[in-house]
Amino acid sequence: MLTRSDDLEILLSVIDSGGFSAAADSLDIQVARVSRAVSKVEKQLGVTILNRTTRRIGLTDEGRQFVESVRAGLLHINKAEEQLISRGELPAGRLRIDAASPFVFHQLVPLIQPFKKAFPDIQLELTSNEGFVDLLEKRTDLAIRIGKLSDSTLHARPLGKSLLYMLASPEYLAKRGLPKQPGDLFGHNLIGFTGAKVLNRWPLAGIDYIEPNLTASNGETVRQLTLAGNGIACLSGFMVNEDIAAGRLIPLLEQQKLTNTGREQINAVFYKSSSVTRRISAFIDFIQPRLSL
């Protein structure tokens, strides 16, 4: 008896999300349905795929080999479906997109409604991750990445460049004064990022990294902290251009700022063998001229 592809999809979701409850939430089904699907696959194969404990799940050796084959097999199934769908005039089907949350909030969300009007048969699924994601592991079709690319296995479409700005609120500057030289920053409250050191490398000659007094893992949180007068931050234009135009944030050290550091680059990336190429192309072609980077 053949294993159904939807049961295999549920199994992959359990592995990718790290548990039965998380998989149920992501698929919007009951936990019992997830458990039945995994048990059914294991019973039909006659092997244990998942090691289960009260705290976590893990793959057995047999399960790891099986899952690798399942991923490849489902990719072929999706490709066959795409070839059938592509006979129609407009692309259709699910498109999973991942981007840092500030890019989703400030750039993608305003474009979703007009995109859905232009391509009503594409079902969008948006996720936000602050770091780079493994497209296969997270079952993502398209990722928006900010900064230099290093993974040669991915196909990239440049979306443009977004300048970096060092900024603070007028209220903060009124209390603490305006820094006129890069060295003046060390007398100020600096807001930076937790984790990736590259995000705390500001585009100023002679300063490798700043040591923030206040950190956050999320760019939108850094923006909100800056708007609230907590200090000076370095953020991409795509999330602060409107704040600058409205006077909510004031750019600093513009004369000393370096450009073309690599962090300004924004790319859409996906696997070259992706089975959803038409959907990806439709999305990129639609958003690129409408982005305000």
Residues 21-60 pLDDT 10s: 877 777 778 888 888 888 888 887 777 877 776 566 777 7
CB burial of residue 137 (10 Å; 0-12, 13-18, 19+): exposed
Does residue 283 surpass a pLDDT of 50? yes
Handedness of CA 126, 272, 115, 291 (dihedral sign): positive
Whether residues 11 and 150 fall in one domain: no
Whole-angstrom distance, CA of residue 259 vs CA of residue 115 = 32
Quick one: 39 and 122 in the same domain? no
CATH of the domain at 32: 1.10.10.10
52 and 196 both lie in a single domain: no
Residue 244 has pLDDT above 80, yes or no: yes
pLDDT score, position 240: 94
Q: Which amino acid is at 35?
A: S
For residue 194, give the DSSP letter. Answer: S
Q: Are residues 157 and 270 in the same domain?
A: yes
Distance CA 103, CA 146 (A): 9
Which residues are CB-contacts of 55 (< 8 A; sequence separation ≥ 6)? none
DSSP code of 187?
G
The two tokens of residue 216 are 């956050």
Residues with Cβ within 8 Å of residue 182, at least 6 apart in sequence: 204, 205, 206, 207, 253, 256
Using the structure block, give the residue that is written with the tokens 């793959």: 59
First to last CA, the chain: 53
- What CATH code is carried by the domain that includes residue 212? 3.40.190.10
Domain check: are 247 and 272 in the same one?
no
Band the pLDDT of 164: cuts 50, 70, 90. Answer: very high
- The two structure tokens encoding residue 253: 């050290």
Q: Measured between alpha carbons, how far is 193 from 202 in angstroms, rounded to an integer?
A: 11
Q: Which domain holds residue 74?
A: 5-85
pLDDT at position 271, please? 74
Longest dimension (CA), the chain: 74
CA dihedral sign, ordered 73, 79, 82, 83: negative
Query: Which among 85, 117, 139 is the end of a domain?
Result: 85
The verdict on 108 and 183 lying in the same domain is: no
Shared domain for 15 and 68, answered yes or no, is yes
Of 69, 85, 101, which one is at a domain's C-terminal end? 85
* Confidence check: pLDDT of 114 > 50: yes
What gap in Å lies between CA 100 and CA 81, rounded to an integer? 29
Q: Judge if 205 and 225 occupy the same domain.
A: yes
Least confident of 71-85, 195-209, 257-271, 275-289: 71-85
Look-up of token digits 């100023």:
204
| More confident of the two residues 202 and 149 | 202
Mean per-residue pLDDT, 131-148? 69
Instruction: Please check whether residues 147 and 180 belong to one and the same domain.
Output: no
The number of angstroms, rounded, from the C-alpha of 164 to the middle of its chain's C-alpha atoms is 19
Mean per-residue pLDDT for 69-87?
63
Same-domain pairing of 135 and 219: no
Tally the domains of the chain: 3
Mean pLDDT on 209-216: 90
Q: Are 97 and 127 in contact (CB under 8 A)?
A: yes
What distance in Å separates the CA atoms of residue 57 and residue 62, rounded to the nearest whole number?
14
- Domain-ending residue, one of 31, 54, 85: 85
**CB of 114 closer than 8 Å to CB of 124:** no
Is the pLDDT reported for residue 151 higher than 70? no
Mean pLDDT computed over 248-277: 83
Q: Report helix, strand or coil for 2.
A: coil
- Shared domain check, 140 and 155: yes
**Are 278 and 158 part of one and the same domain?**
yes
Kind and range of the H or E run holding 151: none
pTM: 0.65
